[in-house]
Amino acid sequence: MTQNVLVTGGAGYIGSNTCKALSLAGFMPITVDNMIYGHPWAVKWGELAEGDIRDKSFLGQVFASYSPVAVLHFAAFTYVGESVTDPGKYYDNNVCGTISLLEAMRAAKCRNIIFSSTCAVYGNPESVPMDESTPKGPINPYGHCKLMVEQALRDYAAAYGTGYAALRYFNAAGADFAAGIGEDHDPETHLIPLIIEAAMGRREHISIFGTDYPTPDGTAIRDYVHVTDLADAHVRALSHLLDDGGNLELNLGTGSGHSVREVIEAVGRVAGREIPTLEAPRRVGDPPALVAKAEL
C-alpha cells in the first residue's frame, strides 16, 4: 500500500522537486502550504491541503485525513535580509510553526520528520570547508531560527522518541526541466536566476554585494548544490528513518565553492555576452564563505 508523506511547503522550490522524487520512489506526497510563497501549479504530485502550520485545528484535520508515515518540513520564510529587519516574523513562522507541527505529529502518533535546515547555522565559520562538527554560530535571525528548531528536534527525540533528520543545505540551485519546475521567487534573491535575468536583458545589471571579502577575488563564496540532488537526499533520509536507521544531522553540499564573480563569468560564457554588474556594499548577515566538506 502506498504510504502518505506530508510535505510542508511542498508548493515551493525545493519542496515541489522533492514531491516529484517522493512520487518516483513510490510514496504519495501530500502538500501542506499556505501559498504565501507557494505556487498551485507546482503541486503536480499528490494532493494539496492549503493552510498554515500554525493552525492547530487545520493540522489536526490533515493528519486525521491522511495518516502520514512521516513529515518533510520545508515550510519557512527564507530571506536572510528580511529576517534581520523583521525577526518577529521569522521566529513566529519558522520556530512557532515548527513547534505547532511537532505537537500535531505527537497527537497523531506520526514519529518521523525530515527538517529543511541550512548552512546558516554555522554563521561565519573560522575555516572552510565545514563538516557537521563545525561550531554553530548564526549571524542572522534566519540562521538562529533553524538552529533553534534543530535543538527542538533533539529535545523531542529525547523526550518523545521523535525520529528526525536535519539536513543543512548549502545554496540550492538549478531546475528540473523534465518536470517544468524551477525557481520562481517574488522577490527573487537567488544569485543564479538574477544573473540569468540580467543576461536576458530583463534587469539592467546584477548587483555584487561586497567586493572586499577575504576571498581570492573579494566576493563571497558559496557551495551550489542542484535541487534534484537535494530532493534525492530527502528521499534517502526518509527511507533511513523508516528503516529505524537513527537520527541524522547532515550537511548537503558539493564540497566546491564558487565566488559571485565566478558564477557571473560562467553565466556570461554560456550566454555569450558580458553580464552588466554594479558593485554594492556588503549585506548584513552575509558571511564571506560557506562550503561543505562533502567527504565521508
- Name the nearest CA neighbour of 43 among 65, 24, 15, 71: 15
Q: Cell numbers of 89, please? A: 516574523
- Name the nearest CA neighbour of 169 among 127, 220, 116, 129: 116
The answer to whether residues 76 and 116 touch, using CB atoms and an 8 Å cutoff, is yes
Q: Give dist(CA 122, CA 287) in Å, integer.
A: 10
Catalytic site residue from 13, 142, 213, 224:
142
User: What are the DSSP calls for 48-59, one per residue?
Assistant: EEES-TT-HHHH
Q: Give dist(CA 278, CA 136) in Å, integer.
A: 33
The answer to whether residues 68 and 28 touch, using CB atoms and an 8 Å cutoff, is no
Q: Give dist(CA 120, CA 15) in Å, integer.
A: 19
Q: Which residues contact 121 (CB under 8 A, 6 or more apart)?
A: 136, 138, 143, 146, 147, 150, 168
Amino acid letter for position 231: A
Q: Between the CA atoms of 188, 182, 196 and 207, what dihedral angle is there, to the nearest 10 degrees?
A: 20
Concerning whether 142 is annotated as a catalytic residue, the answer is yes
Burial of 219 (C-beta count, 10 Å sphere; 0-12/13-18/19+): buried
Helix orientation angle between 191-199 and 260-271, rounded to the nearest 10 degrees? 40
**Other beta carbons less than 10 A from residue 9's beta carbon:** 25
Catalytic machinery residues: 142
